[in-house]
Structure 1
Amino acid sequence: MDAKTGFVTQIGMEYEEAFEIADDLGFDYVELMMDGATERQHLDSDAVRVRAEECDIGLAVHLPFALDIGSPFEHVREGAIREVRAAVETASAFGANKGVLHASSRAWKPAWDVETVGSNILQSVREIDEFAADLGFEICVENIPSGWFSIHDFDRIFDETDASMTLDTGHARIDGLDSGGMASFVGEHSDRISHFHLNDTRLAKDEHLPFGAGTIDFRDIFAALPDDWGGTLSLEVFTLEYGYIETSKTYLDKLL
């Protein structure tokens, strides 16, 4: 397997330091969270690109979390799509070529049926994916637990869009898949899974533990990938202590 490894930045991390530490620890890239202090309007694309080049680090991004690309309200949906596209442009300008997208909606479920909101989400994903493809940028839709498209509903995204997938292991666990179930899913859809959020957990909760501290059997999941799989593996650990990132990287390298 020719996978590249990285980690997702967290609220409170300075990207300059994150890039330097990623280089020191032997990561291939950093997945920069484009929300909060590192939202596109707070970033200088030239400065981000130069710092990444200085540290010899590649870049991916997590696109803004809470933009409602499936809203049943036309202007809300259009505004969300415009904002995602602007974030993709910014990410592409500083050298990222892959971005994680939440294909979700905050629509009030008692008032709106699944087909209406789901169709809006799918159409928005297609529009964003086509826009990104023109920039040489890959959109990777993440499975969101208990959302409009959980991991159990992902066949529609595979069937009705050309976007890739980000498989979040903790989210899959919340939606009822154990390690064997995740491995089966990976074996069936490895051609569309381009990116992972390695979210370790002990329970069916979004714990984001240091990698290896939970009970997910990543050996089985990785074994389900083809030998020539060349995607990206992001450690998603909720911590500001880089020692936990280092420990996670050591264990990940061991498994790989």
Structure 2
Amino acid sequence: MNFGMPTLIELEGLEANISLCHELGLDFIEINMNLPAFQAECLDAEVLNELKTKHKMYFTFHLPEDLDVGHFNKRIREANLKIVEDTIQLASRIDAPLINMHMNSGIYFTLPNRKVELYEKFEEEYLRNILASSNHINQMLKGTGVKLAIENTGIYHKPFIRKAVEMFLEETDCYLTWDIGHDYSSGKKDEAFMLIHKERMKHMHVHDAIGERNHLELFTGEIDLPYFFDLAKENNCSCVVETKTIEALKNSTIRLLDRDKGFSLT
């Protein structure tokens, strides 16, 4: 089981992140494509291959969080699919094993007495778009060695989202990421779905939480981390230590190495 880190906003450029990854003895970096420097067109596969060979580590990718492959507008949907395609091609060229993606729950209208979610209101059209997109993405993935893993964000209590994710899971190269902090802080809205489909889990985002506060240092909150590490080992998941600062990442890695906490990197 491998442990990695996200690209941190405190660090300038990829090489600074690689330096910290090497210092902490982690296996990989998840490149966050929300950041301008980490768009697919800004990254050079040859350079990435040189860096991962030199530092004996690898990369995964986190697609932009506003990505929406179920959008009602065909041109917007196609543009989002092109981002996915470009990322798959880049990942394939550098032997990156996994691309992480959020599901987008879409736009809602606020009425005087309720909120109307458009993907729920027009579920048939939304799911038709998702089916076409999931088929297309799976065709892009075939033969590349790259997996797509869909991350939970506290929205799996919504039936239209569960149906959409299950459409992806019918594809051979589409899997799940369990973000345990998002799940805990949502009141475990995602847990039942994740456990039903736990055999499809290939990736984890691990961070601690206290109530609605998450991305905390490991072993400083309320989450039963040894349980999730055992689950990750059972499913051979890669794990991103998804704390957001250098200090929190360093402290979390130290705690991972502390056998008194019930788990170690070795």
Question: Does the pair score TM above 0.5?
Answer: yes
C-alpha distance in structure 2 between counterparts of 1:252 and 1:149, whole Å: 34
Corresponding residue for residue 220 of structure 2: 213
Q: Which residue of 2 aligns with 1:195?
A: 203
Equivalence for 1:252: 256
Say if 2:8 and 2:17, in contact at 8 Å, map to a contact too. no
The 10-residue stretch of structure 1 (34-43 or 53-62) with the greater mean CA deviation from structure 2: 34-43
Q: Which one-letter code corresponds to 2:217 in the other structure?
A: P
Question: Is it true that 1:174 corresponds to 2:185 in the alignment?
Answer: yes
5+ residue gaps, structure 1: none
Residue 237 of structure 1 aligns with an amino acid whose one-letter code is T
Shift of 1:157: 4.4
CA distance change for structure 1 residues 157 and 219 in 2, over 3 Å: closer, same or farther? farther
Structure 1 letter corresponding to 2:178: L
How far the C-alpha of 1:103 sits from its partner, in A, is 2.5
Q: Which of 234, 240, 263 pairs up with 1:234?
A: 240
Asked if the contact 2:179–2:204 (Cα under 8 Å) also holds between the matched residues in 1, the reply is yes
SS of 2:209's equivalent in the other structure is coil
Match of 2:152 among 107, 125, 143: 143
Query: 1 or 2, which has the higher strand percentage?
Result: 2
**Would you say the 8 A contact 2:70–2:127 is kept in 1?**
yes
Distance, in Å, in 2 between the alignment partners of 1:29 and 1:118 is 34
Distance 1:65 1:225, change over 3 A: closer
- Distance in 2 of aligned mates of 1:159 and 1:124: 13
**Take 2:105 and 2:196, find their aligned partners in 1: how far apart are those partners?**
27
Match of 1:129 among 132, 135, 138: 138
Matched to 1:238, the amino acid is K
Report the Cα distance in structure 1 between the residues aligned to 2:101 and 2:207, rounded to whole angstroms. Answer: 16
Deviations 1:81-110 (A, max 9, x none): 111111221222233121101222534463
SS of residue matched to 1:166: strand
What is the CA–CA distance in structure 1 between the aligned matches of 2:104 and 2:69, rounded to whole Å? 7
Kindly indicate whether structure 1 or structure 2 has the higher relative contact order, using CA contacts under 8 Å at least 6 residues apart.
1
- Structure 1 residue 137, shift from structure 2 partner: 0.6
Corresponding residue of 2:97 = 97
TM-score (norm 1): 0.83
- SS of 1:201's equivalent in the other structure is strand
CA 233–67 in structure 1, closer or farther in 2 if over 3 Å, else same: same
**Residues 45-70 of structure 1: CA distance to partner in whole angstroms, max 9, x if unpaired?**
21122112111111111122212211
Give the structure-2-normalised TM-score.
Answer: 0.81
For the pair shown, which has the larger CA radius of gyration, 1 or 2?
Answer: 2
Question: How far off its partner does 1:226 sit?
Answer: 6.1
Question: What are the within-5 Å matches in structure 2 for residues 37-186 of structure 1?
Answer: 37-108=37-108, 110=116, 111-112=118-119, 113=121, 114-146=123-155, 153=162, 156-157=166-167, 160-162=170-172, 163-177=174-188, 182=191
C-alpha spacing 1:158/1:35, structure 2 compared with 1 (3 Å): closer
- State whether residues 6 and 30 of structure 1, in contact with CA within 8 Å, keep that contact through their aligned partners in structure 2: yes
Alpha-carbon distance between aligned partners in 1 of 2:27 and 2:162, rounded to the nearest angstrom:
31
Question: Secondary structure, in 3 states, of the residue corresponding to 2:216?
Answer: coil
How far residue 27 of structure 1 moved from its aligned partner, in angstroms, is: 1.0
Taking every aligned residue pair, what percent have the same amino acid on both sides? 24
Q: Cα RMSD (Å) of the superposition?
A: 2.8
Closer, same or farther: CA 174–70 of 1 in aligned 2, 3 Å: farther
